[in-house]
Amino acid sequence: MAKPLVSSRADALAGTARVPGDKSISHRALMFGALAVGESVVEGLLEGDDVLCTAQAMRALGAEVERRADGSWRLFGRGVGGLAEPDGLLDMGNSGTGARLLMGLVATHPFTTFFTGDASLRSRPMRRITEPLGRMGAGFVTRSGGRLPAAVIGTAEPQPITYELPVASAQVKSAILLAGLNTPGETTVIEREATRDHTELMLRNFGATVTVDPLPEGGRRVTLTGYPELVGRHLRVPADPSSAAFPVVAALVVPGSDLRLPAVGINPLRTGLYQTLGEMGADLRFENSRVEAGEPVADLVVRFSELKGVDVPPERAPSMIDEYPILAVAAAFARGTTRMRGLAELRVKESDRLAAMAHGLAACGVRVEENKDSLTVHGTGAPPAGGATIAVNLDHRIGMSFLVLGMATAQPVAIDDGHTIDTSFPGFAALMNGLGANIGAGKE
Ligand code: S3P
């Protein structure tokens, strides 16, 4: 059953809130813990539906995975190459990261694994991984268009490859590197634009040899040495900068707001939104910068700000790929025009986010232009009208973006289904309401 939600104008948002753990890092922590020899303990794991699907999948592949009473997760791994054939389908829910990384991992195990997901995931492109993984020796049976459900026929004789990514995608890079774990020799991925490097950082932390060489013309060459012995680790997952983005933009657009968000990941390959908000005039500070489990973190302090429109260069897209929906909301409150370019990948996320933002903002009275791979938002400096109900189409970030919009528009903004928010930010409405927002049940 759908769960409609409505967000009405809020008075100042104030207080301190810990946003949930990083989704990208949480998936990887479960996968690498399941591959390591011995015990791993993960604190601060995101307990969103996406990550819970990965936990279930790692169990189905033979690892011990349990949530302990103190909220930490304990894993007992199988060793690289030690995964076992699952006896049922792996249902990855809404998660592109879970599906693509695991399809890479099992591609070099000598058994067949069947993958499926929800209607959103079943519509997403998988050829971007089946093509390079096929070169490593794996076979695939997919639905038309290379979509899930799919069977991954793992190879017993994997070949290492050197592969240049045709699209800037950390999921594709990671799928190949994970396949390279149970492959002899060196597996190399060349990326012309650097994408999030959590796989590289965490694999090294677990004991693998991963070298990263910058390319003279930009980008990186990432090389993994096969058959590493991964050893169990104790990890603390930083708060997710992609989730923190929602309270941050909410504070920027609701007058009088002042928020503190502790221990947010500030990996430079994830912080494009924060750089852009700074250019727009946001009063946003990083305090107590430190490193936790190999990842940089800081406390974010943000206050209401009068924003101005900016040009966001296309080369910034990989470092803020999940943040364009909420940036478009910030842009709707800014004075002047914000141009976002290089957004073709937004069309193949959990939904077509370019179209979703263009249509939804227009329905709320914002002047927007949508092109093949760009979005232009014309802000007037005054709050938009609001007053629309937005179809989220199984896309958590679209849902949260429009609820944030409604916190400062003249009329409330509703979404048709809030369930999907649990994929990445369980407890979003309660957390925001605790800071002063007015999110309530909407009309069926
Ligand atoms: C992710 C990579 C990105 C991002 C996704 C998480 C990851 O996807 O959008 O939310 O954890 O590697 P792409 O690789 O498709 O850009």
What DSSP letter does each residue of 137-175 carry, written as one string? T-EEEEEGGGEEEEEEE--SS----EEE-SS--HHHHHH
Ligand 1 proximity of 174 Cβ (cutoff 6 Å): yes
For residue 329, give the 3-state DSSP assignment: helix
DSSP output for 230-285 = -B--EEEPPBPHHHHHHHHHHHHHSTT-EEEEEEEE--TTT-HHHHHHHHTT-EEE
Q: How far is the CA of 195 from the centre of ligand 1 (A)?
A: 9
Q: How far apart are CA 266 and CA 288, in angstroms?
A: 12
Which amino acid would we find at residue 220?
A: R
Element (H, E) at 316: none
Active site residues: 322
Domains in the chain: boundaries: 5-21+239-441, 23-236
Atom of ligand 1 nearest to the CA of 348: 15
Element (H, E) at 409: none
Kindly state the tokens that stand for 304.
Answer: 């209401």
Tally of CA atoms within 13 A in the half-sphere of 135 that contains its CB? 15
Ligand 1 proximity of 322 Cβ (cutoff 6 Å): yes
Q: Are 112 and 150 in contact (CB under 8 A)?
A: no
Q: How far is the CA of 196 from the centre of ligand 1 (A)?
A: 8
Ligand 1, pocket-test mutation among 23, 94, 169, most atoms within 8 A of CB: 169
pLDDT of 232: 98
Above 90 in pLDDT, residue 211?
Answer: yes
The conformation of residue 386, written as its DSSP 8-state character, comes to -
- What's the whole-model pTM score? 0.98
Q: How far is the CA of 257 from the centre of ligand 1 (A)?
A: 31
Atom of ligand 1 nearest to the CA of 169: 14
Q: Which CATH architecture group holds 23-236?
A: Alpha-beta prism (3.65)
Share above pLDDT 70 across residues of the chain, in percent, rounded to a whole number? 100
Ligand 1 proximity of 171 Cβ (cutoff 6 Å): yes
Atom of ligand 1 nearest to the CA of 23: 11
Ligand 1, pocket-test mutation among 24, 200, 347, 420, most atoms within 8 A of CB: 24
Instruction: Assign domain 5-21+239-441 to its CATH superfamily.
Output: Enolpyruvate transferase domain (3.65.10.10)
pLDDT of 70: 98
Q: Cα dihedral sign for 199, 19, 348, 192? A: negative
Length of the chain (residues): 444
Q: How far is the CA of 233 from the centre of ligand 1 (A)?
A: 24
Q: How confident is the model at residue 326 (pLDDT cuts 50, 70, 90)?
A: very high
Ligand 1 proximity of 196 Cβ (cutoff 6 Å): yes
Above 90 in pLDDT, residue 174?
Answer: yes
Q: How confident is the model at residue 205 (pLDDT cuts 50, 70, 90)?
A: very high
Q: Are 221 and 190 in contact (CB under 8 A)?
A: yes
Residue located via tokens 């040495």: 225
Atom of ligand 1 nearest to the CA of 171: 14
pLDDT of 294: 84
Where does 12-91 show beta strands of DSSP type E? 14-16, 39-43, 64-67, 73-76, 90-91
Atom of ligand 1 nearest to the CA of 242: 10
Above 90 in pLDDT, residue 218?
Answer: no
Q: How far is the CA of 379 from the centre of ligand 1 (A)?
A: 29
Q: How confident is the model at residue 270 (pLDDT cuts 50, 70, 90)?
A: very high
Q: Are 14 and 443 in contact (CB under 8 A)?
A: no
Query: Which protein residue has the closest C-alpha to ligand 1 atom 10?
Result: 322
Above 90 in pLDDT, residue 338?
Answer: yes
Which amino acid would we find at residue 202?
A: M
Kindly state the tokens that stand for 129.
Answer: 């991984």
Q: How confident is the model at residue 350 (pLDDT cuts 50, 70, 90)?
A: very high
Above 80 in pLDDT, residue 298?
Answer: yes
pLDDT of 82: 97
Query: Which protein residue has the closest C-alpha to ligand 1 atom 5?
Result: 97
Ligand 1 proximity of 173 Cβ (cutoff 6 Å): no
Ligand 1 proximity of 26 Cβ (cutoff 6 Å): no
Atom of ligand 1 nearest to the CA of 172: 14
Ligand 1 proximity of 393 Cβ (cutoff 6 Å): no
Q: How far is the CA of 169 from the centre of ligand 1 (A)?
A: 6
pLDDT of 393: 97
Q: How far apart are CA 147 and CA 256, in angstroms?
A: 47
pLDDT of 381: 96
Q: How far is the CA of 37 from the centre of ligand 1 (A)?
A: 27
Query: Which protein residue has the closest C-alpha to ligand 1 atom 13?
Result: 169
Q: How far is the CA of 97 from the centre of ligand 1 (A)?
A: 6
Q: Which residues contact 265 (CB under 8 A, 6 or more apart)?
A: 22, 25, 238, 239, 240, 241, 295, 296, 297
Ligand 1, pocket-test mutation among 27, 28, 97, most atoms within 8 A of CB: 97
pLDDT of 444: 76
